[in-house]
Amino acid sequence: MTNKIYRVAIVGLGRMGSTIDDERPAGFPAVSIAAACAASPRLEVVAGADIDPDKRAAFQARWGVTALYGDYLEMIRQEQPDLVAICTRGVLHAEMIVAVAEANVPMIFCEKAIACSMEEADAALAAVGSRNIPFNTGVLRRFGRSYHVARRMIADGEIGEPRAGVHYAGSNLLHGHIHSLDTLSFLLGDPPVVSVLGELLPRDLVIENNRLDKDPNAIYQVLFANGVEATTAPGGTWEFEVIGSLGSIRVCNNGDSLHLRKAKSEKERIFLDAPAPAVEAHSTTQSCLEDILDAHETGRPTLGNIQITHHLTEACLAVAESHRQQKRITLPLENRSLYIFHV
């Protein structure tokens, strides 16, 4: 790690770019990109772009940033930032990722999900992957300490051989399940997704012209290459559980704590509560951005790099394709133009 302070430019000065922390209780770790940069000794916001002049004015008043633009590409040309954070809504993500990569920005953060179709995701993969640009998205649990502790315990064999993963909470597909699929994948060590069985809700929803203009609620079962079957239970608060041959670990209450259970013995498979480490709250947005810096400085891949993000976007869209075809879909997804709008 160097002492360099990296210059950040934000595209989209709305909630995730600037103001979402107002929706959290006082003292909650930084969520917005601007707040996470303010919390990090390694990051400084030097510019912002938004098509809405009121958002630009509010951003200047709040963060004291004066280099503000209506055109984000003009901002990049003028300010030459080290890192661009794309915080616009979903329909713009892929085209902005491509344009920012082609503008030779050294590091990119983009809000999730990166694309509405695999055609869009393929373009983002080509633009970022071919330039080897350190890249992460806003699937923030991947950067949360409780999830890191759980992943380490699973990898170390604390629950035996992982057999199944469960996500809890009802959710829409590209806005919400891009998170749930990403977190299940992360907890299991990011094995490739082999196949997906999914249903959109309501079950009689028809996908006309290979396109949905509203992000649908969804449920799924996913088979990972390590043999783990993962599913989503559409109820409760956001939690994740991985069940192994000799125990289970659950990340409770959206990352607040861990619940570990271990088999009494190899022969007597009664699962008993076991002590799990307490995990301190921290800014997952800050960790996500600093992971990009560490990758830039060391040459290692980012935790949520474009290849992983592209693959999990494919798994997410395969849920809708499974609903459309009424059958299990094996990746890669053939239907690259299936389009699902999301915010």
Ligand X SMILES: NC(=O)c1ccc[n+]([C@@H]2O[C@H](COP(=O)([O-])OP(=O)(O)OC[C@H]3O[C@@H](n4cnc5c(N)ncnc54)[C@H](O)[C@@H]3O)[C@@H](O)[C@H]2O)c1
List residues near ligand X by CB under 6 A.
11-17, 20, 49-52, 55, 72, 87-90, 92, 111-112, 138, 140, 175, 343
Nearest approach, Cβ of residue 52 and ligand X (Å): 4
Alpha helix positions (H), 164-251: 178-187
Beta carbon nearer to ligand X, 262 or 310: 310
Nearer to ligand X, 138 or 162 (CB): 138
| Cβ nearer to ligand X, comparing 4 with 24 | 24
The residues, ordered by sequence, that sit 6+ positions from 156 with a Cβ below 8 Å of its Cβ are: none
Q: Strand ranges (DSSP E) for 87-183?
A: 107-110, 135-137, 162-168
Task: Please check whether residue 33 is in contact with residue 24, taking contact to mean a CB–CB distance below 8 angstroms.
Answer: no
CB of 298 to ligand X, least distance (A): 25
Q: How far apart are CA 121 and CA 305, in angstroms?
A: 13
CB of 285 to ligand X, least distance (A): 8
Tokens of 28: 């909650």
Q: Smallest gap, in angstroms, from Cβ of residue 22 to ligand X?
A: 11
The residue (of 95 and 297) whose beta carbon lies closer to ligand X is 95
* Residue with the shortest CB distance to ligand X: 14
For residue 302, the minimal CB distance to ligand X (Å) is 16
Listed in sequence order, the residues at least 6 apart from 155 whose beta carbon sits closer than 8 Å to its beta carbon are: 189
Using the minimum distance from each CB to ligand X, give the nearer residue, 186 or 224. 186
Q: Are 313 and 114 in contact (CB under 8 A)?
A: yes
- The neighbouring-strand residues paired with 243 are 164, 248
